[in-house]
């Protein structure tokens, strides 16, 4: 395979990413610190148009000029359930708030390997329920990238199954890791380290996250029933070892009759939406998500759910 990711993306990633070493549980605190410092300058293309505040453990991104209070986006950051926070992903949430016109709430959650499953999921579910209680007239949009996409989907599924789900307008899921599965086409094609995220790293992340849990039904989502989910926006990065997870989920949604949109970005690798401030395809993917939220696929469902409350 001779193709490589877009050189402009690789340049942006090199500028705003910490040097990557071998994953080590003992070194994770230092890796988190370096990741935060490397990404701190990624404030988002619309940083001057969004007010950022903190409240009750949430980082809030609110459009300054117009904020449509009919929905609140809850964004769960990625990082293999083990790295990153609402600072490393602040640029994504800033631009998503500006482009959608909605408040974006970013909760942090306990990270593996110190806090394995279901600690992160428990925290995500609690945050979603708290945000719903604080915004009783809004439908929620659950969003996330990578491991955060896993948590967003798992949160929607668990709350639905427990009969505790608040009104959900949509899910926005960028290049998620939904299955503990490593023999897919995308893992075999893009998982050797040439394209960034590796299959070896994903094995480690899954091992850290699920640890020795006997029934991680909302961790590895292979057997999850997706009936009852709201409309979904799915985004695939072409040169990503997790690409087939997004394709798999699209197939499951199709079988269940769940409306969804599929955003495919060529010549990019895992993590590309971080760079919307400087890289146009990243920005276009966030734009596509905002357009999806304003589309007829989502709006009628959101109105029905809000009225039902």
List residues with catalytic annotation.
146
CA distance 22 to 263: 31
CA distance 233 to 231: 7
What lies within 8 Å, CB to CB, of 308 at 6+ separation is 167
């Amino acid at each position: 395979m001779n193709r490589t990711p877009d050189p402009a993306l690789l340049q942006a990633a090199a500028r705003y990413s910490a040097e990557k070493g071998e994953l080590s549980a003992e070194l994770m605190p230092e890796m988190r610190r370096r990741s935060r410092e490397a990404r701190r300058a990624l404030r988002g293309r619309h940083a001057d148009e969004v007010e950022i505040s903190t409240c009750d453990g949430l980082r809030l991104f609110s459009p300054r000029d117009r904020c449509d209070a009919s929905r609140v986006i809850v964004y769960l950051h990625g990082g293999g359930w083990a790295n990153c926070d609402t600072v490393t992903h602040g640029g994504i949430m800033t631009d998503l708030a500006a482009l959608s016109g909605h408040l974006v709430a970013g909760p942090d959650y306990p990270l593996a390997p110190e806090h394995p499953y279901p600690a992160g999921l428990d925290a995500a579910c609690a945050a979603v329920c708290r945000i719903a209680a604080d915004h009783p007239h809004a439908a929620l949009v659950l969003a996330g990238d990578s491991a955060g996409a896993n948590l967003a989907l798992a949160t929607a599924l668990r709350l639905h199954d427990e009969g505790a789900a608040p009104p959900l307008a949509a899910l926005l899921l960028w290049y998620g890791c939904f299955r503990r599965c490593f023999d897919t086409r995308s893992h075999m094609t893009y998982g050797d380290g040439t394209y960034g995220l590796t299959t070896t790293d994903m094995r480690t992340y899954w091992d850290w996250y699920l640890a020795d849990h006997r029934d991680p039904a909302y961790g590895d989502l292979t057997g999850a029933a997706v009936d009852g989910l709201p409309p979904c926006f799915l985004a695939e990065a072409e040169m990503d070892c997790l690409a087939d997870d997004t394709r798999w989920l699209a197939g499951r949604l199709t079988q269940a009759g769940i409306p969804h949109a599929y955003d495919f970005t060529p010549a990019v690798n895992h993590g590309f939406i971080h760079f919307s401030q400087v890289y146009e395809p990243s920005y276009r993917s966030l734009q596509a998500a905002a357009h999806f939220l304003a589309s007829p696929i989502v709006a009628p469902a959101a109105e029905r759910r809000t009225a039902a409350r």
